[in-house]
Amino acid sequence: MEMNLTNQTNNGEGQCDNPVGLYAYACFYYGVHDYLSVILCCFGIPANIVNIVILTRKTMRTPINIILTGIAVSDMLTMLSYLLYAIHFRVMYGLDDDRPGKNTYGWTLFLVVHICLTITTYTISIWLGVCMSIVRYVYISSLGTRKPGADERRSCILVTIVFTLSIIAYIPKYVTTKIVNVNSTEVYRLQSFEIQSPNLSPLQTAFVWIFLVVGKWIPCLLIIVFGILLVCTLHKSKKRTEKLKGAQTKARLKQHTRTTAMLLVIILMYIISELPQTIVLVISYVNKDYLDYILLGDTIDMICLINNSVNIVLYCAMSKQFRDMLWSSLCCVFRLSDPRRYTTVQTTVTHTCPTKNVCYEP
């Protein structure tokens, strides 16, 4: 997300005096992006904390919820880092502001951490989205005959592997991002490189290909493929529900359908946030001209931040179990009701579902 951050101002220098075409849009949106991103992060960070708290409750631990918890952790880290970056480098000073205090060694070191962290967490998030679609497809295809405990352990291992491999994959980026002193002053800059440069070192070339292929192209393709498979599975599940007899069996399959539908919405959000920027990135790579990708950088960031923060809205809108658990937790924390009523709500959340009560995985 922040690959060309340090070059963004220079590439557009002077263009906002008389903007034309894409420059006009970039200059217009630049004026509102900073404050919108701060507001969105202030909403998204506590929202993801709530997601983590609710999804890790004992009665909510399922294979899908474990993966969704990993996504919430990744999204929270992304937004926390972006909030600090936006406040200091965009709201307080601005990209073209070189006043003392902006580019100190400490803040430049933070910028290095921010760039490396956001690239890593976005890769973690999209790959966990892929894992979520695969796990749900396998579960629906097996008609829920797999042992829940074993699947939960596999999901924990899967989340750990995605976090670990994503961190390892971007080691070339970590070791090639350096801080340089400007003219022996107290101003520091990042020693960056252009993707299209023909003089990249082996580590820089490795990072470029990892970012393009592993971080963008492959996960986008996989999440689209398994999203389509889930749509087909959902259609078959609806037909199967109509033929079955028994209220409990029908209720269970309807719960499967609602769960799959909600996960499809989450997958769609990933496609909306990742596919357009991936297409622009591919076109830029083919044409060896990344200016359009840089000019759309703020818009891409905003779409990704929206995707990072809306999950709690989807959960509350499409899952009664999540709403009940959230309400019971709020009652306990803020003492909105007496303990006896809280116990009743908790018991209802735990035992009224026809199968094990969970947020997304019946």
* Tens of pLDDT, residues 306-332: 999 999 998 988 888 888 888 888 888
Choose among 158, 136, 121: nearest CA to 64.
136
Tokens in use for 44? Answer: 């998204």
> What single DSSP character describes residue 58?
G
Predicted confidence band of residue 13 (pLDDT cuts 50, 70, 90):
very low
Chain-centre distance for alpha carbon 257: 24
Most confident of 98-102, 245-249, 261-265: 261-265
Residue 173 has pLDDT above 70, yes or no: yes
The amino acid at 320: K
pLDDT tens across 234-244, in order? 777 666 666 65
Predicted confidence band of residue 129 (pLDDT cuts 50, 70, 90):
very high
Tokens in use for 299? Answer: 């818009």
> What single DSSP character describes residue 98?
-
Predicted confidence band of residue 231 (pLDDT cuts 50, 70, 90):
confident
Residue 200 has pLDDT above 80, yes or no: no
Ramachandran angles phi, psi of 181, nearest 5°: -90, 135
Residue 21 has pLDDT above 80, yes or no: no
CB 173: neighbour CB atoms within 10 A? 21
Least confident of 81-85, 182-186, 239-243, 326-330: 239-243
Q: The whole model's pTM is what?
A: 0.83
Per-residue model confidence (pLDDT) at position 291: 72
Residue 196 has pLDDT above 70, yes or no: no
Q: Hey, what long-range contacts does 245-250 have (CB within 8 A, 24 or more apart)? A: 248/354
Residue 125 has pLDDT above 90, yes or no: yes
Choose among 3, 282, 292: nearest CA to 123.
3
CB 13: neighbour CB atoms within 10 A? 10
Give me the mean pLDDT over the 132-143 stretch: 82
pLDDT tens across 300-311, in order? 899 999 999 999
DSSP E strands in the chain: the ranges are 178-181, 188-191
Q: Percent of the chain beyond pLDDT 70?
A: 77
In order of start, what are the domains of the chain with their CATH numbers? Answer: 5-319 (1.20.1070.10)
Residue 19 has pLDDT above 70, yes or no: no
Tokens in use for 335? Answer: 């003492």
Name, in order, each residue with C-beta under 8 angstroms of 105's C-beta and a sequence gap of 6 or more: 179, 186, 188
Per-residue model confidence (pLDDT) at position 312: 92
Per-residue model confidence (pLDDT) at position 109: 92
Least confident of 58-62, 164-168, 189-193, 339-343: 339-343
**Spatial contact of 115 and 177, defined as CB atoms under 8 Å apart:** yes
Q: Exposed, middle or buried by CB within 10 Å (0-12, 13-18, 19+), for 76?
A: buried
